[in-house]
Chains A and B, each alone.
Chain A
Amino acid sequence: MSIRTGTSLRRFAFVRYAVPVVTVTAAALVTLALQSVSTHVAGLPLLFCAAIYSAWFGGLGPGLLAALLSSGAIALNLIPPPSPGNSVADELPRLVTFTIGVFFVSWISGRQRQAEQLLEQAREELEAKVRERTAELSRANSKLQSEIAERKSAEQALQTMQLELAHVSRVTMMGELTASIAHEVNQPLGAIMNYANACRRLLASGMDNAVKIDEALSRIAGDANRASDVIARIRALSRKKPTERATLPVKDLIDEVLAIARYEIQARSVTVRVDLAVGLSPLHVDRVQMQQVLLNLVINGMDAVEALPMKDRVIEISAQARDSGDGLAVALRVRDHGPGVNPVEVGRLFEAFHSTKPQGLGMGLPISRSIVEAHGGRLHLVPCEGRGAAFEALLPAGEGVDA
């Protein structure tokens, strides 16, 4: 701190040149005061000290000024020479050595001061650099923070988008199943109507038909339940809701999907064969999303076999336990016996908006894949023997064993 104060004071030429004046004057006054007490006090040493200090402090200029002032003081006999009787000329060699000494000290002190200045400069540069770096780092840090936040919100947006897309594709898919859905609701409604009309007839006949009417009423209740189950299933599929994973036995998944597509399967005279391995672990998945994946594969399969003779319109759904490499998995496979996938199309199968069907949106497979991958699984076209195409969803198995 003191060095820094000294060096900062040295910056001013006024201070540098004030120092020799002050110190030489002080040395002369002190010398005079001391000589008034004792005549043996030498005049030069204190002046020399003042000159050296001035040279050390201010460099060559102030050093010379001090030497000049000291020489002047001696020459003007302000300070009496140590040995009385000596003239100024006698003092000359002493004055010359004095001046050379001052030069030397000034030179050394100049070099030292230069070194100090360089050091000071280097330190200041270093500090500036450190400050600059720190500022840079904190800028980078805040940029990173904002990038992280941005990425997080982008991820969230992507997730929302995927949910939306899955929903749109589900609704589109259900559009294809309208006939099936209408049939599934119409069937119990027609039955209810039949029972109701039968009851009216039984009542109008005037006979005691209480037992029959009771039977009809309980069947009405049963059919009303059936209709509302169908509607509940459809509503669950058409609703947009966040992912919600639960335990789902593979058999339930397949049964539910086939129940939704049942009429469509019949109307298109497609035979569906199901082959479930024994003792499969249940899945831990979002029920609706997984139904969507399987339903999509089944509809694709039906489309693939549509043009074939009736006996060849076969789709096989199979599920097997498999070791996926990182744990137990369930391989859910849908295989059709249609014309298969054109080798040219294989690479684009899971591309969005790429469809080989005239009415296709090209969203089914890419969305199915993103759903399966979000569940930590994989969805692929797998090779199969003979004609047709086989798609396999490899899903991580949950805990336990299917009932």
Chain B
Amino acid sequence: MNAGDSIVYVVDDDASSRQSLEFLIKASGYAVRAFSSSKDFLASVRPEVPACLVLDVRMPGLTGLELQGELAKRGVRLPIIFITGHGDIPMSVQAMKAGAMEFLTKPFREDNMLRAITLAIDNDRVAHRERLEMAELRRRHARLTPREREVMASVVTGLLNKQVAAELGASEKTIKAHRAKVMQKMEAASLADLVRMSEKLVADA
């Protein structure tokens, strides 16, 4: 029972399948939010917590595979456990290639399902920490003035204050003040720390 603050999302159009799954996962100690269609799931507001998605492959409207594509397009990285009534090999290959965690055929063994959920949540917990860190970095970066961002961008390339000043057409003293502000606002302990943060921000953009 390592649920903690995590959430398992279930998307399945079949009522009895969805409800029973919700019941089973809840009985294992996870918080569950169930949806009867991909559209409802996409429209939902989801808190930033470790989570995973248990997704039926075949549904009217947006199918499970289509929802997977749509989430990737939107940059939502949520581990997905697919469930299907028929073990269709090409379909499962496609799903796994697109990054699915697991592909289970109904009726599945509950240990397989719960193991997959635990693994997915654990994976997402790491990702979740990174997501939090990124969000924090973005928040800090957002606090910088445009001038400070320019200074930060130049500083992290390894330029000295004098060189930065020449590049931006300002005095060395001004640049030094901006640089101190950047270090403070970004809560960077050292230049190396700031460089690492900058790399992450660039990679995320």
Contacts and interface: CB of A to CB of B under 8 A. Distances in A.
Interface string B12-33: 0010110111011011100000
Interface residues of B, number: 20
Contacts of A191: 16-17, 19-21
Interface stretch (B106-114, B136-144, B159-167): B106-114
A212 interface: yes
Instruction: Decide if the interface of chain A is mainly helix, strand, loop or mixed.
Output: helix
Contacts of B86: 179, 183
A135 interface: no
A5 to B, nearest CB: 102
A187 B58 contact: no
A367 to B, nearest CB: 30
Interface centre among B14, B27, B28, B59 (most CB of A within 10 A): B27
A266 B23 contact: no
Contacts of A201: 24, 27-28
Given A187-B17, A267-B58, A197 B106 contact: no
A175 interface: no
Nearest to B27: A198
Nearest to B86: A179
Nearest to B106: A190
Contacts of A219: 16, 19-20, 23
Interface residues of A, number: 29
Contacts of A194: 20-21, 23-24, 107, 110
A177 interface: no
Interface string B38-68: 0000000000000000000011100000000
A185 B102 CA distance: 24
B158 interface: no
Interface in B65-121: 85-86, 106-108, 110
A107 to B, nearest CB: 115
Contacts of B58: 266-267
Nearest to B108: A190
B27 A187 contact: no
Given A190-B17, A198-B26, 16 more contacts: A182-B85, A183-B85, A186-B106, A187-B17, A189-B107, A191-B17, A193-B110, A194-B20, A198-B27, A198-B110, A199-B27, A201-B27, A219-B16, A219-B20, A266-B60, A267-B58
